[in-house]
Structure 1
């Protein structure tokens, strides 16, 4: 299975956000960001699994 490719706009947004993270010096802010990203990642996984299940039922 081929890896999912990001669009050019998504690639630029990722790079922008990576620079924002690199510029952050506040450990509490970085922890909060990590927790937000973890929640978003698992929400995305749940949404993907739900969509797959719905497709399999159809």
Structure 2
């Protein structure tokens, strides 16, 4: 499985399983407050990863 969302970067099997696991958890969550909390956590994780990737890229330059 390849991820088109990450600019053509291939995800590992472990990452694919984590995505599926979290997708199922999201689908199973009916409480809007829990979904908002999860969305905020994912947003924070996404931006943290972007910052880390940017830092690594700059270190290699």
TM over 0.5: yes
More helix by share: 1
Residue 53 of structure 1 is matched in structure 2 by 58
RMSD of the alignment, in Å?
1.2
Task: Tell me which moved more, 5-14 or 45-54.
Answer: 5-14
Any gaps of 5 or more consecutive residues in structure 1? none
The 3-state SS of whatever aligns with 2:18 is helix
Shift, 1:9, TM fit: 1.8
Say which one has the larger Rg: 1
Give a deviation string over 1:1-51, Cα, whole Å, max 9, x none. x71111112111211110110000110010010011101101111111111
Task: Give the structure-1-normalised TM-score.
Answer: 0.86
Any gaps of 5 or more consecutive residues in structure 2? 1-6
- In 2, Cα distance between the equivalents of 1:26 and 1:41? 22
Task: Tell me which moved more, 6-15 or 22-31.
Answer: 6-15
Count of residues in Structure 1 that have an aligned counterpart in Structure 2: 55
Segments of 4+ moved more than 6 angstroms: none
